Amino acid sequence: MKLLQRPLIAITSLLLLAPATAAVAASAPAASPRAAATTVQAPAYDVTIKITEHGIPHITSDTFEGMAYGAGWATMSAATCNLMDTLLTARGLRSKYLGADATFQDNVGGSGTNLQWDTLVTDLHDRQVVEKLLANKVTGPTDRAKAMVVAETAAFNRWLTENEITDPACADHEWIKPDITTTDVWYAFYLAQLISSTTRLLPQITSATPPATKAGANPAAKPTLDGWTDFQEQDFGSNATAVGGDDTSTGRGMILGNPHFPWLGRYRFTQMHLTVPGRFNASGGALTGFPAINIGFNRNVAWSHTVSTAYRFTPYQYTTAGTPTSYKTPNGTAELDRRDVQVQVKTDDGVETVTRTLYRTGQGYVLSAPSLFMPWTATNFWAARDANAEHLRAFDTFLSMGMAGSVRDLLKRQDRGGGMPWVNTIAADRKGDIVYADHSVVPNVTDEMANRCMTGAGRLIFSQSGLPGLDGTRATTDCKWGTDKDAQRPGILGPKRLPETFRRDWVMNANDSYWAPNDKVRLTGFPRIIGCEDCERTMRTKVVMAYVRDHLKQGKETPATLASHQHANRVYAAEVARKGGRLDQICAATGETEACQILHDWDGRSDATSSSGAAIFQEFMYLVPKAGLWEVPFDVKKPFTTPNTMSTSQPVVDAMAAAIARVEAKGLDKTYGELHHSGDRGSAGWPLGGGLGDTTGDANAVSSTLGDPVLDPVTRGSSYIQAIAFLDKGGVKARTILTYSQYENPTSPWSDDQTQLFSEEKWVHVPWTANQIEHQLVDTIHLTGN
């Protein structure tokens, strides 16, 4: 039986299937010791899934558990291989089945060998981190969330029991079985919370070993600050703009949201519409495996997220006490917690057990991070405390937000949830109110505390990164994270210390700090650990602002004009570089006459139909040294027009020559879309507009992770995009596009259809009302289970 993988034909089939728990029990092997404590008899589920065009599921049940059951079924159908790979990681079993040495990248910053991932995750299991959080009434999930995960897990297993996997990426993988436990799912949720913190530090954690001699660290590991530049450059990001009733033609709120996420792997979105009549009704994008809407809309509120500049952890520096594994505390000497972790590893001779060792203090894992100025020497070492490692609240937070009635209600729900892990929130509502807020999980480290507690080395780290390096000797006394009365739990900043602005004009964010949510508003006086103030904005921030600001000079934003900004494809850095003829001067100095004429004639857009001049400029900005690129530096009094005036120095000219050579090798006579095309698994290689984002000032950020970010196939960037406008009489105008399409399986007709639409700069008019769903209906699935 192959459900949810049908061609796009107008059929309706009512499928009454066997009880879910019976199917799972018959096929699942004995539960592992880890899973035994969470094997739960599933309650009754009754859910209807209506599939509309492009494979979008509209899932309805009378209970939240039933809704989660339907979401689990639909997600496993659309993303079988990706979801199972995610759960394999959450089990700490990558090395057992895929080998120890292969590199696994989550494509949002976490990168390491399978053995490194398994070492960390197995230690989390050994310490029963998630199990303890599940039992905690403050830091753990609600009973409703737990019940939903039981239901989702049952659906995962049922789908695997009753369906043949046809995706060639994992069709023959022996480890894919219907033996998923709720513990597996919760560990997957937990790891998703850690992507800006613990898993970002994966190599530094898993390579941490005591220095071999009293002389200190190996000379090859001389500490530097060089790594902080790369550490602060996130591999993912987003844009979002909310326009309030004062600036819209409708007098109601509108939003354009575009998260820039991977097109491959765990952090893809699936699109779904979830309904419990009278209690929950929201549509949007969900990260693989989440039975809730992460970015989306309901009848009254639409919201999106952008990755925040706030830090989720703080490093603590400890002074050793005679040996590299002992350290000083206010109460005397303590020994590091040595964690000998046993990992199963696939070899030519079968599966062997390998032991790797991690070290911890009471605050967190010890690091070996000389490039971040945090080496392990004979006299001191560093350990990181991670705020997102201390809760399991993200699922509850997103679920509650889906029931919000206004932007103020949305933020209150977010604050009560206490689990917004690493993103800003931008939202608009039916009344015309809008909000920008960074109410994410942030360690409660005020500037006063940071100044009091930073070590000498910690101040150097702070000067480079804005992250305070604190005194570990006092980590449990006066340098312990603070507690705010309005925070959901101790240790994190409460809402009153976090930036927000409610308005009726417009706000935006494109991954710069909270300081300037539009061209007039300044948010100041917040702890530095959240982000910088009076600081430079990226070219992407400037172009996202320019779209709205320039349009409002002509008139109010309409639903159509706001949506049109997605594919306007202005290249803001080129607009600045061309002033005074600087870009032409730089190109002329290369002597490349033909290429320079193409660059001169280029329309200044990153449209698929633009000339190869777009590719030349994208490559040039990728290759050019950033230091000294602009002759007029950033001026805090002119944050949106500085820096400017591009340098014509020889290194800049050399970068232009190199860029031309790269494009010339591919063909100067080609269009940008012929040089820049989709590269997700199974894609036909559709020509794409958009560019490098921050580097070039493209709001439509799409690039490659395969080598050359411009000329190799696109594998990251614009993902689940939505343009939502609230209309009169309860109406919602919803334009969406899932750039890499709903299904990963290349044999599905829904694996590349939306990518083609994205290439053609078209939208999906996603159905919202019952009548709209019926009009686009492709298939109906009815699931019942006990």
Helix axes 182-193, 114-126, angle to 10 degrees: 110
Which tokens sit at 280? 């929950």
Which are the contacts of 567, defined by CB distance < 8 A and separation ≥ 6? 607, 689, 700, 761
**Before 259, cis peptide (omega within 30)?**
no
Strands 434-437 and 470-471: unpaired
CB of 530 closer than 8 Å to CB of 499: yes
Q: Which of 355, 388, 400, 401 is nearest to 481 (CA)?
A: 388
Planar angle of CA 97, 100, 103, nearest 5 degrees:
105
Q: How far apart are CA 358 and CA 119, in angstroms?
A: 8
Give the separation between CA 603 and CA 610, rounded to whole angstroms: 7
535: three-class secondary structure by DSSP: coil
CA distance 344 to 431: 56
Amino acid at position 457, single letter:
A
User: How far, in whole angstroms, is CA 773 from its chain's centroid?
Assistant: 29
Q: How far is CA 570 from CA 487, 522, 564, in A?
A: 41, 26, 12
Interatomic CA distance for residues 528 and 520, integer angstroms: 21
d(CA 441, CA 498): 10
| 446 closest CA partner among 485, 487, 479, 490 | 479
CB count within 10 Å of CB 351 equals: 11
Three-state secondary structure call for residue 229: helix
Structure tokens at 270: 């699936």
Quote the CA–CA distance of 453 and 445 in Å, as a whole number. 10
**Three-state SS across 38-107?**
CCCCCCCEEEEEEEEHHHEEEEEECCHHHHHHHHHHHHHHHCHHHHHHHHHHHHCCHHHHHCCCCEEECC
| Residues known to be catalytic | 238
Residue with tokens 């930073």: 454
Closest CA to 639 of 509, 759, 541, 753: 541
**In 3D, which of 388, 432, 393, 433 has the Cα closest to residue 413?**
393
- Cα separation, 462 vs 374, whole angstroms: 12
Counting beta carbons within 10 angstroms of the beta carbon of residue 554, is it exposed (0 to 12), middle (13 to 18) or buried (19 or more)? Answer: exposed
- Give kind and range of the element (H or E) at residue 470: strand 470-471
Percent helix, strand, coil in the chain, to 5, is 35, 25, 40
In SS3 terms, 167-225 reads as CCCCCCCCCCCCCCCHHHHHHHHHHHHCCCCCHHHHHHHHCCCCCCECCECCHHHCCCC
